[in-house]
Structure 1
Amino acid sequence: MSAPGPKARPDRGSTIVRSIWAACLLTGGANHARTLLQHGLLWDYGGVAWPSAAYWTSLTILDPLVAALLFLRPKIGIPATILLIVTNVIHNLAKTAHDAPPGEFLTRATNSYLLSQIGFMLFVLATARIAWKSADERRPGQRPRLG
């Protein structure tokens, strides 16, 4: 019987990718928190329907929660990040399409805020495999390595 080898270290690329994802999620959460501090918890985002307002308000909590899960529970945090950004982009594009007058969708959909979300979504989808690379290296009860 051979002695067990050294503990597996998380893949550096995975840690870097998850760190970038977390920074973007925390920035999004901070933007939503700023909006709520400025307008209040029950603000309707300028007259949008309550499901959209509730969704955007929920991102104040969901974004930082998912960012933390990327390191505490990567097998949950990685798919949660993908789900969160994909649903966010779908929601915001659908909302933009619904609100845009005929012929103005592309103009409205190419604002810097929406383009940055689409860019982040594409980055997440392109790097998901790298992020997942060491997600299963933690064992139950093992503390996460942040570096």
Structure 2
Amino acid sequence: MMSVSRRSLWLRMIYALCLLGATYNHLLIVAEYDWGWDYGGLPVFVTTFWTALTLIDPLAIVLLFVRPRGGVILTLAIIAVDVAINSWVAWRYGIDLATFLAQVCFLIFVVCTWRMAAQYRASPR
């Protein structure tokens, strides 16, 4: 049986890999269109959030390993808000279904595992 700390680490590494992929996508968009792009005319609250993820996702990655509980909570908040905003965008404007479903799957995974991922115990020295 895997220890609580090891299970937590594996889950946080999965979260970090997913956030790293998202960071890469946001960086590509910023590199191509700059920080102020409106994503083809979407509302400011949507574009501001999506662009801010370029910085917030890497922050969550760092926190997942430096302050595990905080990183887990931030990851849960990021994906919950992202799916909520993307749901609204999908309803109002349409959205790439494959990308949206991947985000929903990640949300479900994080919701089902966040407590276990946050059960970090530092190794005794």
With normalisation by structure 1, the TM-score equals 0.77
CA distance in 2 between counterparts of 1:10 and 1:129 reads 11
Q: Distance in 2 between matches of 1:73 and 1:10?
A: 16
Residue equivalent to 1:57: 51
2:109 aligned with 1:115, yes or no? no
> Where do 5+ consecutive residues of structure 1 fail to align?
1-8, 101-107, 143-147
Query: In structure 2, the residue corresponding to 1:46 is in which secondary structure?
Result: coil
Q: In the TM superposition, what are the counterparts of 1:1-147 in structure 2 within 5 Å?
A: 11-100=5-94, 108=95, 111-134=97-120, 137-138=121-122
Residue 105 of structure 1 corresponds to which residue in structure 2?
Answer: none
Superposed structure 1 runs of 4+ greater than 6 Å apart = none
Q: Is the 8 A contact 2:80 2:107 kept in 1?
A: yes
Q: C-alpha separation between the residues in 2 aligned to 1:13 and 1:88?
A: 26
Following superposition, the deviation at residue 66 of structure 1 comes to: 0.4
Distance, in Å, in 2 between the alignment partners of 1:12 and 1:138 is: 11
Aligned-residue offset at 1:99: 2.1
Paired residue secondary structure (1:87): helix
C-alpha displacement of 1:82: 0.6
Tell me, what secondary structure is at the counterpart of 1:11? helix
Sequence identity, in percent? 33
Q: Once the 2 structures are TM-superposed, how far is the Cα of residue 138 of structure 1 from its aligned partner?
A: 3.7
CA drift at 1:129 = 2.1
> Take 2:45 and 2:67, find their aligned partners in 1: how far apart are those partners?
29
Counting helix residues as a fraction of each chain, which structure ranks higher?
A: 2
Deviation of 1:10 (Å): 6.6
Equivalent-residue separation in structure 2 for 1:10 and 1:66 (angstroms): 21
Cα distance between partner residues in 1 of 2:62 and 2:109: 19
Rounded to whole Å, the distance in 2 between the matches of 1:26 and 1:59 is 11
Q: Which amino acid is 2:38 matched to?
A: D
